[in-house]
């Protein structure tokens, strides 16, 4: 099967949908009314988990340089991350009440002001992006529950690509939903190889409705799941360093041309 060609930038606007969130990264700095550059800050200490990024030429570039420290070494080992997110909420210091509680022993280490910059519920989310990934890197856009209630902690994985599963003849692009800590959800993952190069510009989309989540790449349907969360969620735009970089490989980077949300 021939590879899908790179997709040019398009102007926003879809019939029957209202554009309610948009960042084309045309300004010289990060739009703080759209994004926080701290990754799950309630689980980690001051000075950790802040993204490294650049904005130039109408695109955001997330990077994980060698001098970026692990974001949460006590509980997540040597994993490093540069991420932007559209919300933040956590309970009192010392409590287990925090978003994306990935280990049962986690307790809130610092309390920051609550942020609800963009908390979609049953929206369509689109992103035009490309990435350079070595075998130890991971790029993704996913949504997590804002968690006003503890069970509201599921995840929608719009796109997730491991560098070790990306190649010149195709890329495994993971899509689906994950229960995480939501007992009402069942994890449903699509994890097949698609005829695209992650280094090329492609438009990744998830159309989230009461009937489930339908996924598209470059306007092509690439599967759907019947389950879906039923509560507000926030966007998590991430580049992870899961293993040491290969010295011969180019530095990992995740370039994003735009992110859009339609109600």
Name every residue whose Cβ is closer than 8 Å to that of residue 91 and which is 6 or more positions away in sequence: 97, 98, 108
Q: Following DSSP, what letter does each residue of 14-75 receive, concatenated?
A: BTTB-EEEEE---SSS--TTT-B-BSSGGGS-TT-SB-EEEEETTEEEEE--TTPPPS-HHH
Block mean pLDDT (10 aa), the chain, length 263: 89 76 96 98 93 97 95 95 98 96 94 96 98 97 96 98 96 97 96 97 98 97 96 98 84 97 96
The class of domain 23-262 in CATH terms is mainly beta
H/E stretch holding 177: strand 174-178
| DSSP classification of residue 163 | G
By CB atoms closer than 10 A (0-12, 13-18, 19+), residue 226 is exposed
Taking CA atoms, 229 is separated from 78, 100, 145, 186, 188, in Å, by: 31, 14, 8, 10, 12
Q: And the tokens for 169? A: 């003849």
Give the position of tokens 């519920």.
Answer: 121
Q: What contacts 103, CB < 8 A, 6 or more positions away?
A: 75
pTM summary value: 0.96
Confidence (pLDDT) at 159 = 98
What pLDDT was estimated at residue 16? 64
pLDDT of residue 14: 58
Q: Which two tokens stand for residue 3?
A: 């590879």
pLDDT at residue 91 in the model: 95
pLDDT at 15: 55
């Amino acid at each position: 099967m021939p590879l899908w060609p790179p997709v040019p930038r398009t102007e926003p606007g879809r019939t029957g949908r209202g554009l309610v969130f948009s960042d084309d990264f045309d300004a010289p700095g990060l739009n703080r009314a759209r994004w926080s550059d701290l990754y799950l800050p309630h689980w980690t200490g001051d000075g950790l988990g802040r993204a490294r990024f650049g904005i130039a030429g109408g695109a955001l570039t997330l990077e994980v340089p060698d001098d970026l420290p692990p974001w949460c070494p006590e509980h997540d080992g040597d994993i490093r991350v540069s991420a932007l997110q559209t919300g933040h909420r956590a309970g009192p210091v010392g409590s287990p009440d925090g978003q994306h509680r990935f280990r049962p022993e986690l307790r809130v280490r610092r309390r920051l002001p609550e942020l609800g910059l963009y908390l979609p519920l049953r929206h369509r989310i689109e992103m035009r992006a490309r990435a350079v990934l070595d075998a130890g890197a991971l790029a993704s856009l996913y949504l997590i529950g804002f968690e006003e209630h503890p069970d509201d902690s599921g995840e929608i994985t719009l796109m997730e690509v491991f560098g070790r599963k990306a190649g010149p003849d195709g890329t495994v692009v993971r899509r689906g939903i994950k229960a995480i800590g939501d007992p009402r959800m069942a994890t449903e993952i699509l994890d097949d190889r698609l005829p695209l190069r992650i280094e090329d510009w492609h438009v990744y989309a998830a159309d989230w409705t009461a009937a489930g989540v339908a996924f598209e790449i470059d306007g092509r349907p690439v599967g759907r799941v019947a389950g879906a969360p039923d509560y507000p969620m926030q966007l998590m735009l991430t580049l992870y360093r899961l293993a040491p970089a290969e010295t011969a490989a180019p530095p990992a980077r995740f370039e994003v041309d735009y992110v859009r949300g339609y109600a």
